[in-house]
Amino acid sequence: MLRRFAFAACAVFGFSSAAIACPDFNLAPQESYQATGKQLYSARTFDVVAGGNNYIWNCPNVRPGTDTGAGYFPSAPDFSFQLSGMSPYQLVVRVVSECDAALLINTASANWYYDDDDNGNLDPRIVLTRPADGRVDIWIGTYDGDFCNARLEMETFDR
């Protein structure tokens, strides 16, 4: 009986510590910005090093409703954007990188999105067709756990 209890305790603590090493929107982002939909009508770019140590599908707190491919991401968001005036726009978030990058987004509506290759050339792209005003957190990872130079691009378009 004592062995079962010890095993159960180890399993619980093991799972809880694994959740700590996952993308977490409660952690301070590397960079924070504010923007309106109108300001993003001209594309804005942000340099970043893509990659991380957290394999996305080992993270029970992250369940994207989109792609289900592999990806390694940092714990803290690379970017956090406080967006406003988004109602007339769709938001295109894409990455151009020197490796096989992956993209993870947590929106103001608390929805997770993941992509690996929709921007072509092994780069990700996510289109938020009805982005809500509020905080959007973005992680730039890689498909295979490597690290490389990358550029985040954000742009709005009329709906």
Mean residue pLDDT of the chain comes to 88
* Number of domain units in the chain: 1
At residue 32, the pLDDT reads: 98
Q: What is the pLDDT of residues 61-93, one digit of tens each?
A: 887 766 667 899 999 999 999 999 999 999 999
pLDDT of the residue at 66: 67
CATH code for position 10: 2.60.120.380
Written as six digits, the tokens of 53 are 């140590």
Percent of the residues in the chain that have a pLDDT greater than 70, as a whole number: 85
Is-contact 25 139, C-beta < 8 A?
Answer: no
Read off the pTM: 0.85
pLDDT at 24 over 70: yes
47 Cβ contact list (under 8 Å, min separation 6): 149, 150, 151, 152
Determine the structural domain holding residue 48 and report its residue range: 2-158
